[in-house]
Amino acid sequence: MKRVAILISGGGSNMVALAQSMTGDHPARPVLVLSNDPDAGGLAKARDLGIDTAVVDHREFPNDRSAFEDRLHVTLDAAQPDIICLAGFMRILTEGFTARYEGRMLNIHPSLLPMYKGLHTHQRALDAGDVEHGCTVHEVTARLDDGPILGQARMAVQDGDTADKLAARLLPLEHALYSAVLRRYAAGDRTPVILA
Ligand code: GAR
């Protein structure tokens, strides 16, 4: 059974979807939910699901990213994860950190990568006049929102859409995509998952 740690910064809806998917014949189980924000709403949800939680508050390490990441390492390594899922984790990680977990760290990003790396993806899709939008799960490498693509889900942009409407409509697709990718990935299958 593969051990999965999930890193969050906010509400944790992707974390909940992942955790709830890891039952029965799923080849993985959640062992830790780690947040960089003690106020992240996802922490209480994780505890309700019976998952161990930890906080490494980045604000305790002002101007010292390497000390923050050292603490992340120590906290993660104590849980001995085989796979790390970034699920709305909003801190940029350095090459030193990503290299250590290369090949076993996944991220979900709310755009059809390689389009719109970084922030404000929904507004940028609207501003560009895109007729379709979506989300991507990829392996994490040193480059932001880069790395081999493990799955994408697409949806149409509709008349009257706003960034908030797109985000809300995309979220359930994120949950379905990330869960499907993790199930495959934990079984050793890196064939991309495509949800239309
Ligand atoms: C999700 O939309 C996720 O794709 C996005 O943050 C949200 C987290 O929601 N991630 C990023 O923007 C990463 N750059 P959640 O906390 O409810 O899962």
| Domain boundary assignment for the chain | 2-195
115 is known to lie in a ligand binding site: no
Cβ(11) – ligand 1 distance below 6 Å: yes
Cα 52 to averaged position of ligand 1 atoms, centre (Å): 21
How do residues 64-84 score in pLDDT, each as one tens digit?
A: 999 999 999 999 999 999 999
Q: What gap in Å lies between CA 9 and CA 129, rounded to an integer?
A: 30
Assigned CATH class of 2-195? alpha beta
Query: Residue for token digits 């480059």?
Result: 143
Q: What would the two tokens of residue 123 be? A: 């507004």
DSSP result, 159-193: TT--HHHHHHHHHHHHHHHHHHHHHHHHTT--PPE
- Cut 0.95: pTM above it: yes
- The predicted complex's ipTM stands at 0.99
Instruction: Say if residue 47 carries a ligand binding annotation.
Output: no
108 close to ligand 1 (CB < 6 Angstrom):
yes
